[in-house]
Structure 1
Amino acid sequence: MTIKQIEIKDFWRKFNIKWKLNPDVNILTGINGAGKSTLLDLIACIIIGSRLPKSMLEKASMIKIKFDEDEATIVNINFNDSYLNLTKKAQEDEIFKELQEDVEDDFVNTSRKSRLNSLMLNASISYVTTKTKGKIPAKEFLSNLNIDVISTFDEPLSYIEDKTKWDSLHEEGVWSSLDKELHELQEQYSYYVGNLANTIEKMVLSGVQPKIEDLSNLYAPKNLFIKIINELFYSTGKVIDTNKSKLSFKIIEDNITISIYELSSGEKQMLYILWKVLLQNQEPYILFLDEPEISLHVDWQELLIEKIRLLNPNCQVLIATHAPSVLLDGWQPFVTNIDDIKFRAQKK
């Protein structure tokens, strides 16, 4: 399932947006401060099923996301007004009635409920309509969507959890948020490789002798991932060390193995993005990428979309960028400037 169209009302309180999407690649461009990241954040937050944080509730009054299957549409309504006005709207509109009930459920304490009439609210509600089922709960629909959101901004880790846990991670070389993401991908990768072995074992136990062609097809995505990474990293003298159980790298000249945490910032970024895509297992996915060019060499920026599509041709990609190099290599027809989809909202 892919996103077909996005409509937003009162974006930044002054624009309406209508963006028709391609089923494969969508590149959103514009100058810094034009709203690219905000737009992607709003969309991603809604289809992940998260409640919009207060800081984002005021960025739009309504978000409508249309999909290509069963005429499915997610509608998110944000309400920034008094509770008194919400009760008036609830008498006329079933959706606002549901929102009113949600707000009242949050105020379980009777003494707090008595203050409702004097409160200004920042609240939101989402619902989904489909052709075959009509209106359904958003959670039910969203549970069937595969979503990946990749932000490549990196920062040092803070001791916000158990210090012993962080000390253990530091021992492995995990010092930044990107390192932590790579550490989690390492665990998922072990599970992924284990599943490949389990598939072969099940075939043997069921009396089926795997053919070379079967094994080749089974391991093709993993081998393609290794091939792509090796080609990209070869110029820096590194290749994946296939003799190790965990994904690690070998410095060709010195024949020394290094961990993924010893890579350069740009190498970590590229590995993180492509590793994430490999683990999608070529299933239908919607992938959000916010300024993926950060820390990437210009040559890698040009190749990024191509490599993503090679690893998962069933992945719909939404990218926000202002790097001209990302647009090269034939991707210009997939580019939308955010200023071309923003229209001044009429004052009420």
Structure 2
Amino acid sequence: MKYSEYIKQIEIDSLWSGRRHIVWNLDRKVNILSGINGVGKSTILNKVIRGLSAGGEFPSHMLKGVRLTVEPEDARWIRYDVIRSFDRPLLNLDAVGKLNTALTDLTTELDLQIFFLQRKYLDYQVNIGNRIIASLQSGEADAALQAQQISAPKTTFQNLIDDLFSQTGKKIVRTENEIRFSQIGETLTPYQLSSGEKQMLVILLTVLVEDQQPYVLFMDEPEVSLHIDWQQRLIDLILTLNPNVQIILTTHSPAVIMNGWADCVTEVSDITD
């Protein structure tokens, strides 16, 4: 399977009912789609996402009238993740209960995302642990340095979360395999966080477990639950955790672009024929 490093162009024959031809040439790093309500920002993202298989295969799974140009051009797979903004109540709590009878804390969609990310986080730790052991057993002169570099993204993630949550006194418990927080002597689960804290945790944990591979992160208005300071830092935080990610997001918030990302904004009208 040959994976693409990023998407170069999105083309959509018709956004709605045979109208609005979309051609969007993308930046390697950051792409921000803007426009008034109802103009089609989320529709563009959703058409692309629906056209990708669960494993990221294309073009055989692409919807009719949706085409992607990628780098390298002969790649036929994309690593990608999707972040959405709304912390809605879970509609089918019985189905959640079947996952584990102890999961009484799962009441919203963000809670469910965190639950599955916890599983990926455990797998990620096993993976980097095995790589660290292999590095230390290699006998190479710089084996200790290599081991430190392998574990650096996880440490960076923990430091970023501690910094973001510092005003409420929350810190990640670093001796736990799953995500837990300490606050004034009390241990908290991620499901006890505020909506904004959960949203930021979901975003950064999603980025971390991709293990710095090239991949595409689709985000539909990720700023909704975030404080304005976190909105301003969002893109920089993501790129700090994984410099190889390509960000494609929609937003209504000027704060998201305040840290030097104004040149990465595209209006829907600018890519519409």
Instruction: Note if 1:293 corresponds to 2:223.
Output: yes
Q: Which amino acid aligns with 1:62?
A: G
Equivalent residues in 2 for 1:209-288 (5 A)?
Answer: 211-251=143-183, 254-288=184-218
Matching residue of 2:58: none
TM-aligned CA distance change 1:49 to 1:16, over 3 Å:
farther
Q: 2:272 aligns to what?
A: 342
The verdict on how the C-alpha distance between 1:231 and 1:272 changes in structure 2, with shifts beyond 3 A counting, is same
In the alignment, is residue 186 of structure 1 matched against residue 190 of structure 2?
A: no
Kindly state the Cα deviation for residue 162 of structure 1 after the two structures are TM-superposed.
6.9
- Contact conserved, 2:32 with 2:251, CA < 8 A, in 1? yes
Name 2:84's counterpart in structure 1: 151
Secondary structure at 2:128's aligned position in 1?
A: helix
- CA change 1:209–1:182 in 2 (3 A) is farther
Partners of 1:285 and 1:316 within 8 A in 2: yes
Shift, 1:268, TM fit: 0.2
The one-letter code sitting in structure 2 at the alignment partner of 1:165 is L
Q: 2 CA distance for matches of 1:221 and 1:307?
A: 12
- Check whether the contact 1:200–1:210 (CA below 8 A) recurs between aligned residues: no
Deviations 1:63-90 (A, max 9, x none): 22111213x4xxxxxxxxxxxxxxxxxx
Counterpart amino acid of 1:265? S
CA offsets per residue over residues 26-57 of structure 1, 9 Å max, x none? 0000111111001000012213369xxxxxx9
Task: Give me the TM-score of the superposition, normalised by structure 1.
Answer: 0.70
Q: 2-side partners of 1:318 and 1:295: how far apart?
A: 18
Tell me the residue number matched to 2:59. Answer: none
Q: 1:221 to 1:328 in 2, by over 3 A?
A: same
Q: Does the 8 Å contact 2:93/2:107 carry over to 1?
A: no
| 2:10 alignment partner in structure 1 | 6
How many residues are treated as equivalent by the alignment?
A: 261
Structure 1: how far apart are the matches of 2:86 and 2:249? 14
Which whole-Å CA distance do the structure 2 matches of 1:272 and 1:213 have between them?
30
Give the letter for the 1:65 counterpart: L
Structure-1 separation of matches of 2:95 and 2:179:
26
Quote the Cα distance in structure 2 between the aligned partners of 1:49 and 1:275: 19
Distance change in 2, residues 1:156/1:167 (3 Å):
farther
CA drift of 1:200 comes to 2.9
Per-residue deviation, residues 106-135 of structure 1 (Å, max 9, x unmatched): xxxxxxxxxxxxxxxxxxxxxxxx8xxxxx
The Cα RMSD (Å) is 2.2
Residue type of the partner of 1:168?
A
Identity %: 39
CA contact (8 A) 2:135 2:143 kept: no
Other-structure match for 1:25: 30
The correspondence for 2:102, drawn from 168, 183, 192, is 168
- CA offsets 1:261-290 (integer angstroms, 9 cap, x no match): 111000000000000000110001011000
Higher CA-based Rg: 1
CA contact (8 A) 1:266 1:296 kept: yes
Tell me the CA shift for residue 202 of structure 1. Answer: 3.0
Q: Distance in 1 between matches of 2:234 and 2:112?
A: 22
In structure 2, C-alpha distance between the alignment counterparts of 1:270 and 1:25, rounded to whole Å: 18
Provide the secondary structure at the position in 2 that maps to 1:317: strand
Q: 1:267 to 1:163 in 2, by over 3 A?
A: closer
SS at match of 1:287: strand
The TM-score, its normalising length taken from structure 2, stands at 0.88
1:35 aligns with 2:40: yes
Q: Give the 3-state SS of the residue equivalent to 1:293 in structure 2.
A: coil
> As a proportion of its length, which structure holds more strand?
1
Deviations 1:7-30 (A, max 9, x none): 212211221111111011000001
Structure 2 unmatched runs, 5+: 56-61
TM superposition shift of 1:208: 5.7
Q: Structure 2 CA distance, aligned partners of 1:187 and 1:49?
A: 18
Greater RCO structure (CA 8 Å; 6+ sep)? 2
